[in-house]
Amino acid sequence: MLKRNVLAAVIAITTAWGTVGAMSHPVMLEDQGSFMAGGTVVTAPGTYDGKDPKKLDGETLHGDAAYVFWQKPVAAHKLGMVFLHGYGQSGKTWESTPDGRDGFQNIFLEKGYTTYVVDQPRRGKASQSTVPAELTAVPQDQLWFNTFRIGEYPRIYDNAAVPRDAESQAQFFHQMVPDTGALDNKVVAAAMDAVMTKSGDSVLVTHSAGGGPGWMTAIKNPHVKAVISLEPGTFPFPEGEVPQPEVTSSPFPAVGMAVPKDDFMALTKIPIVVYFGDNIPSGTTPVDNWGQDNWRVRKNLADAWAKVVNRYGGDVTIVSLPDIGIKGSTHFMMADLNNRDVADAMERWMTTKGLTQK
Amino acid sequence: MLKRNVLAAVIAITTAWGTVGAMSHPVMLEDQGSFMAGGTVVTAPGTYDGKDPKKLDGETLHGDAAYVFWQKPVAAHKLGMVFLHGYGQSGKTWESTPDGRDGFQNIFLEKGYTTYVVDQPRRGKASQSTVPAELTAVPQDQLWFNTFRIGEYPRIYDNAAVPRDAESQAQFFHQMVPDTGALDNKVVAAAMDAVMTKSGDSVLVTHSAGGGPGWMTAIKNPHVKAVISLEPGTFPFPEGEVPQPEVTSSPFPAVGMAVPKDDFMALTKIPIVVYFGDNIPSGTTPVDNWGQDNWRVRKNLADAWAKVVNRYGGDVTIVSLPDIGIKGSTHFMMADLNNRDVADAMERWMTTKGLTQK
């Protein structure tokens, strides 16, 4: 079998190298799989009988777990990478881009990392919730188009590093998913704690609304050896040190989380980098473009937060991608046309922090 | 890069071969990715403005698409394999088993097939529905435990080929997912049609409630070159030839679908095999064990259906796994302890039908 595999590899490398949209080279996969992590069990009142299938007394429901798909390449780096998506998304965020290029799942697998792509509880393949929910199916693609800084709908920003064809845009909107139970960061963080215990020592990569529960996970689980956060929605401050929320034209104010000082201090023990993309205004005055203003206040909150963490001995770096030569990044920088540049920047940072050992 | 990959492969094969739960050998992956297929777009009444983010007039919603995760090994067989799950499930059905062994996703990847693992519309990573839904979170694990022929809760059948530890059982229940919009086989079949157009020529593998829309997909899309159906819930008959539903103690009667004769005839043009597992009673008299009786009536319907298809020139084989020496299969034969035997039986059938060419 070995001989056939190696021969096949040679053939494939010769023929497939450079195929449009394909992985840049074949990857020898040692193993892959999926699992559920965490979650709770609820039991209906009454006594289970079983004779009448329509009588559900005493039956159980398993819900609120996270779903994880993982892949391990041969000769993997010591630390894995755990990817937690943001609002309205599942692990699809990190998979193929809407125009079919490699997302971070493939890019970091190619770079030799064991990847763990999460669907948070009450989302995607982890959508069994222990609490009921009403799904409204309200059309709001344009709300997200603007909030994600693709442009001001229907105009795409001139510098936005996104594909401009209709099919790619449809793929992007189609990958959005609803909450199947109340969005509860504690439920997400509890499941993420179980995810990290299963993954073992890893770099936790969070996006957007995944940022909040991501910080809570890093506080709780020592397997989180570093955090890379892409435009997180919020940041945890020691109780009593949460800044006043700034006035914003966005419908989503940037509100810091208050955590006990001891919990906060855990974040001073690991290296953290936060990336922001392009088209984010600076200053303290709201701008009319509410999609952009949403990120002005978050970037300001990030700057304030980094100062606090670093004052307590932490190691937080806030990076504005255009400042390091990566232009046009939207809120979905992991899927933009220059997403490989973003991945490379992440890996360079990881190397400087000693996180890329084999 | 080639040299390093091959060296790594040798090291990995030497060290990882035989690891418990791991793939039986590393796989050289040429490419992988995910995409959404099919779906519809709905638009809210009114005119889109964009100045007020809280005003959603004229906004759109993309929903009802299928989600597909695909992987292509080097030197793949010509035909791909498209996997469609059943009720209460997502593509997780085909991934790692509840006790962490390889599911069909890995087993057929190892065998050299390009795999396409689907989440049907309104389920899992494809859970954005265009219609509202109320999710009840009603506990009913035991209903499914019995219906899936694991046993009569809490007793596991003595011969059931399933792991018996609590964690594996919890993993199984945790992977269940709700419908995020009305279950509509036409919506599923429409999205599956788009899936097949993207996958190209493939063997369609369906399970349980995925069987119904699977037949509709095979009727509609010529890229379906064969169907392997694992305990499908129903079967399509020509209008006027649908048998009367049998009396059953199951809450889920087995009701044949009526389709136009011309549509039906499409199913006579491709090879089809249907597998049933163990612990299914025979005969025409309902048994008290309603979980088993659910499959007695379906197997009878399958036998009746095969006769009709074959009478019209088709090539349908109904296989009872215990009859070919595979014992103890539950309704989730793709995840049972002897799932590799089931996969091998499937591949042998595929070989006899000329479907395994490279």
pLDDT at B18 over 90: no
Whole-number average pLDDT of chain B: 94
A256 inside 8 A of chain B by CB: no
Nearest to B290 among A53, A91, A177 (CB): A53
Going by their DSSP bridges, the two strands B202-207 and A202-207 should be labelled as unpaired
Pick the CATH number of A2-352 from 3.40.50.360, 3.90.1150.10, 3.40.50.1820, 3.30.1540.20: 3.40.50.1820
DSSP A92-114: GGGSS-TTS---HHHHHHHTT--
In chain B, the percentage of residues whose pLDDT exceeds 70 is 94
Report d(CA A346, CA A287) in Å as an integer. Answer: 30
pLDDT digits (tens, 9 = 90+) for B181-190: 999 999 999 9
**pLDDT tens by residue, A79-102:** 999 999 999 999 999 999 999 999
* Rounded distance between C-alpha atoms, residue A233 and residue A210, angstroms: 8
| Distance (Å) from the alpha carbon of A260 to chain B's nearest alpha carbon | 32
Residue B294 has what pLDDT?
98
Q: Is the ipTM of this complex over 0.90?
A: yes
pLDDT score, position B8 = 40
Residue of A nearest to B38 (CA): A174
Looking at chain B, which residue has its C-alpha nearest residue A127? B177
What mean pLDDT, rounded, does chain A reach?
94
pLDDT class of A171 with cuts at 50, 70, 90:
very high
Instruction: Say what the pLDDT of residue A8 is.
Output: 41
* Interval B309-349: pLDDT, tens: 999 999 999 999 999 999 999 999 999 999 999 999 999 99
Contact (CB<8Å) A30/B22? yes
Residue A293 has pLDDT above 70, yes or no: yes
d(CA A200, nearest CA chain B) in Å: 16
Dist CA B109 CA B71 (whole Å): 8
Domain B30-352, CATH among 3.40.50.1820, 3.10.290.10, 3.40.640.10, 3.40.50.720: 3.40.50.1820
Q: Tell me the HSE value of B266 on the side-chain side, using a 13 A CA sphere.
A: 19
The closest of A40, A181, A60, A81 to A123, measured between CA atoms, is: A181
Q: Supply the pLDDT for residue A161.
A: 98
The reply to whether A143 touches chain B by the CB within 8 Å rule is yes
A141 contacts in chain B (CB < 8 Å): 59-62
Task: Supply the DSSP string of A266-334, one letter for each residue.
Answer: HTTSSEEEEEE-SS---SSS--S-HHHHHHHHHHHHHHHHHHHHHHTT-EEEEEEGGGGT--S--S-TT
Residues of B in contact with A94 (CB under 8 A): none
- Nearest CB neighbour to B138, from listed A2, A22, A56: A56
pLDDT above 80 for A12: no
Please state, for a pLDDT cut of 90, what percent of chain A lies above it. 93
Taking the C-alpha atoms of residue B62 and residue A139, their distance in angstroms, rounded to an integer, is 8
Mean pLDDT of A59-68: 98
CA A68 to CA B210: how far, in whole Å? 23
Query: Would an 8 Å CB–CB cutoff place A155 in contact with chain B?
Result: no
* pLDDT at site B21: 60
A104 shares contact with chain B (CB less than 8 Å): no
Q: What is the pLDDT of residue A24?
A: 82
Q: What tens digit of pLDDT does each residue of A190-210 get?
A: 999 999 999 999 999 999 999
Please indicate whether residue A158 or residue A11 has the higher confidence score (pLDDT).
A158
pLDDT-derived band at A67 (thresholds 50, 70, 90) equals very high
Domain residue spans of chain A: 2-352
Asked if A23 lies within 8 A of B6 by C-beta distance, the reply is no
Stated as kind and residue range, the H or E segment containing B294 is helix B290-311
In this structure, the number of other CB atoms found within 10 A of the CB of residue B21 comes to 12
- Set of chain A residues whose Cβ sits within 8 Å of the Cβ of B21: 33
| Minimum distance, in Å, between the CA of residue B165 and any CA atom of chain A | 16
The Cα B254–Cα B147 span in angstroms is 13
Query: Do strands B66-73 and B27-37 pair parallel, antiparallel, or not at all (unpaired)?
Result: antiparallel
Contacts of A53 (CB under 8 A, 6+ apart): B143, B146, B147, B250, B251, B290, B291
Q: Is the pLDDT of residue B10 over 70?
A: no
Report yes or no: A43 at the B interface, CB cutoff 8 Å: yes
Integer Cα distance of B38 and A13 in angstroms: 32
A286 vs A293: CA distance, rounded Å: 6
pLDDT digits (tens, 9 = 90+) for B235-245: 999 999 999 99
pLDDT at A133 > cutoff 50: yes
Q: How far apart, in whole angstroms, are the C-alpha atoms of residue B291 and residue B149?
A: 6
**pLDDT value at B195 more than 60:** yes
Whether residue B292 lies within 8 A of chain A, CB to CB, comes out as no
Which of residues 314 through 353 in chain B touch A, CB cutoff 8 A? Answer: none
Rg (CA), chain B: 21
